[in-house]
Structure 1
Amino acid sequence: MGPAPMKQPCVYFLASARNGVLYVGVTSDLAHRMAEHSQGLIAGFTQRYGVKHLVYYEMHATMDDAITREKRLKEWRRAWKVRLIETMNPEWRNLFDRETGEISLGPADIARVRS
């Protein structure tokens, strides 16, 4: 099973730990953005609160679609965000491998691919 393609518009959730501080972001290159987050290179909220673990992401066809989705997700209640994360990643695993720079498919994606 190879890594998910990353050079594509994407909305993502970072967490400080399971059920910890959450961050919703958008990018056109998830692997690159995750390398920056994991090294603490992006000043602001994620750096201040140590929010580095990629726990959820979804790809979009266009950047406009991804930005629209990000704005909607930021308005969601926390419980809804947690439920969404757990549909893809019930273990809250960090889907970004700092060693290789690869993004793993979430458990929900793997199950879909296998069926």
Structure 2
Amino acid sequence: MSKEILNRTESEWKTLIAQYESRSVTRACFCKLHQVSKGQVYKWRQHFLSQEELISEESAFTHLVINKDEASDKENLSNITSKIRISSNSGVVIEFISGCRYLELKAIMEILHAAK
């Protein structure tokens, strides 16, 4: 096996894995034809699949904006000043990077509870 074949770039592997996905020959034949091992194909295929999942997860993110309720400020409720991360069993993740107001958190918790 030549050194060029051993040192494929990520772009070259992406093209090769796309060809593998649409192959019309057996896996063993494909690997022999392209001078790759089954392990290499598996590793790079998993790499690209996990990237696709990550992109899919990121694109599913929705910003939630809660309007400021001036009446709640008059109640003198404490603001939460630390970072908060809420994860549900269904995979919903909500993060407040620099804290939030008590009523914002309460509203989100009520929405999550109602969505069960």
TM-score normalised to structure 1 length: 0.20
Task: Report which of the two structures shows the higher radius of gyration computed on alpha carbons.
Answer: 2
Q: Write 1 or 2 for the structure with the bigger share of helix.
A: 2
